[in-house]
Structure 1
Amino acid sequence: MTRYPTQGNSETQPLEQTAPSVPATVRERLSPVVMEIYAAGDFHRVDMRTIAREAGMSFRTIYRYFGDKESLLFYFIQYWLGGLYPAALKPLDGDGDLRSKLLGVLKLHFEFYEKNPNVGRIIFMTVPLERWMRDPSYAQRELMLRMLKAISDAQQQGELRYDLDSRLILDMFNAIFNRAFLMWEYRRRSYSLTAQAELLLSVLWNGVIANKPPAKSTVEAAVKKASARKTAAK
């Protein structure tokens, strides 16, 4: 998972608006090669000519659609994540408590990366974050905004601590997920990542759950204060 998007930032617009129109035959031919090379190597040592050679394609063809190796990789990250999104949004739909929804989101992510560990290696270990953060594929705008809304709603209903910025809670959720994948990879995938979801979420949940339902006036004051902080931060 990635960070929450910033409202009004053109860099966080969905990738579909900026991605090159790549023929399916080109995409399917390149996808396994790009995944294998980037998952196994150093981003800075990868070059497009090697990718072209391994894929049995001309360098000119790849350059025509992507321009450089960063655009090539970021395009395929978004393509691979098509197997995760929008499925990861489903737990946020409908009724139910926030804890169950977050657990559903976390499990779907863990299941995806257990089945596609090379995608995880590329996203969490290979990609230079400073460069990726400038690309539209980093924000995962729809998921982050929906999760922020779910967290904010739970705060207003007294389910979560109202003295915490909703973005901080989301950041902690993302941090737990990112660290869990890295340690799973470091420990050579010796256990089920998905099986850790319940325990990991409980660590976060125990820190953000409201001790008792606050008075409505107190919640409203906290919401206004949080809104003022966000406005001042823009």
Structure 2
Amino acid sequence: MMYYFKHELSKNTYRKGATKPTMKTTSQIPSTIETRALAPLSDMRPATLEKIEKAVRKVFAGFDSNEVTMAQIAKSANVSLQTLYKYFGDKQTLFYTIMDIVLGRLAARIMDHLQGIDSVQDRLRKTLWVCFDFVDSHPDAVMVLSSVSASRIRNIAIYENKELIGAFLNVLEDGQNRGVLNDTVPLYILFDVFMGFISRLGLMHIIRQTDTPINAEFDALFVILWRAISKPDI
């Protein structure tokens, strides 16, 4: 949900093969592939972008991604198809861009807590609360993200944000150095346990359609997580 992967849109590369020189006629004019640059999102009205974000979350959460069309999203957002193509170009770019915006806001909140001056336990506690609050407030986004394949997850830029990952690993390393976190495993193991805990519990909470917010059980859940990553008592 929160690691940050570099956003790299796949591009088609066209290579001209070597051919013998030939005389060109009017019917042999070389064809060119025009690539029209997308309009920057900064040009879009914030209210319009918000409507598109809500539509993407709603439509992709309710249908298989292969069945979703740009027309469905445009209708749900009450915007024109022309607007979607102008700013996003295609369905995949629209999806990954919007998901990056959604997770970007979450990442900013996480960074605030990871870089605090509290103890390691308190920083991780606040970070977990923020993540579960995201589950409670954005269940559709959680469902959509759970459907993204491992081979495609890197298309969401937030999943490879070095600053965010670095801040997280620094907290975990600080915990190991202070003797409060398990130091018999690499940092990435602690990181994966933390993230896996959030992902599994968050997704199943939504699938089970639990009436109460997941943060209603926060204290008990944090105890479980803390016991899993803290240094065992000798």
Q: CA deviation at 1:203?
A: 2.3
Q: Report if aligned partners of 2:115, 2:167 keep a CA contact under 8 Å in 1.
A: no
Matches of 1:207 and 1:34, distance apart in 2: 36
Q: Counterpart of 1:2? A: 2
Q: CA deviation at 1:204?
A: 2.9
Q: Which amino acid aligns with 2:87?
A: Y
Q: Contact 2:113 / 2:126 at 8 angstroms: preserved in 1?
A: yes
Equivalent residue, structure 2, for 1:66: 88
Q: Can you give the 5+ residue segments of structure 1 that lack an aligned partner in the other structure? A: 6-10, 14-18, 214-234
Moved more, 186-195 or 78-87: 78-87
Residue equivalent to 1:193: 214
The 1:133/1:20 distance shift into structure 2, 3 A limit, reads: farther
- Taking a change above 3 Å as real, the CA distance of residues 36 and 165 of structure 1, as seen in their structure-2 partners, is same
If the length of structure 1 is used for normalisation, what is the TM-score?
0.75
Q: Which residue of 2 aligns with 1:146?
A: 167
In structure 2, the residue matched to 1:162 is 183
Matched, 1:21 2:40: yes
Note if contact 1:158-1:212 (Cα within 8 Å) is conserved in structure 2. no
Alpha-carbon distance change, 198 to 139 in structure 1, aligned in 2, over 3 angstroms: farther
Whichever residue aligns with residue 230 of structure 2, its letter is I
More deviation in 96-105 or 129-138?
129-138
Question: Which has the larger helix fraction?
Answer: 1
Counterpart of 2:186, as a letter, is D
Q: CA RMSD in A?
A: 2.5
- Does residue 159 of structure 2 align to residue 133 of structure 1? no
- Partner Cα distance (1:29, 1:12) in 2: 23
Per the alignment, residue 39 of structure 1 pairs with 61
Contact 1:98-1:154 within 8 A present in 2 as well: yes
Instruction: Tell me the SS of whatever aligns to 1:67.
Output: coil
Deviations 1:30-75 (A, max 9, x none): 2222222112111111111222244343333312221221210111
1:210–1:42 distance in 2 versus 1, CA, 3 Å: same
Residues of 2 paired with 1:89 and 1:135: CA distance?
18
Superposition deviation, residue 201 in structure 1? 2.7
Partner SS state of residue 152, structure 2:
helix
| SS of the residue 1:84 aligns to | helix
Q: Percent of aligned pairs with the same residue?
A: 25
Query: Structure 2: which 5+ residue stretches go unaligned?
Result: 9-37
Measure, in 2, the Cα distance between the counterparts of 1:190 and 1:177: 18
Separation in 1, partners of 2:215, 2:39: 34
Counterpart CA distance in 2 for 1:195 and 1:53 is 36
Work out whether residues 4 and 144 of structure 1, in 8 Å CA contact, stay in contact via their aligned partners in 2.
Answer: yes
How far, CA to CA, are the matches of 1:202 and 1:50 in structure 2?
43
2:11 — aligned with what? none
After superposition, the C-alpha distances for 1:190-216 in whole angstroms (9 at most, x for unaligned) are 232013333233223223322469xxx
Q: Once superposed, which parts of structure 1, at least 4 consecutive aligned residues long, lie more than 6 Å away?
A: none
- Number of residue pairs matched by the alignment: 202
How much has 1:140 moved relative to structure 2? 4.4
The CA deviation at 1:12 is 6.2
CA offset at residue 20 of structure 1?
6.2
Please tell me whether Structure 1 or Structure 2 has the larger radius of gyration of its CA atoms.
2
CA distance in 2, matches of 1:28, 1:207: 38
Return closer, same or farther for 1:62/1:202 CA change in 2, 3 Å cut-off.
same
Matched with 1:98 is 120
The letter for the 1-side match of 2:148 is: V
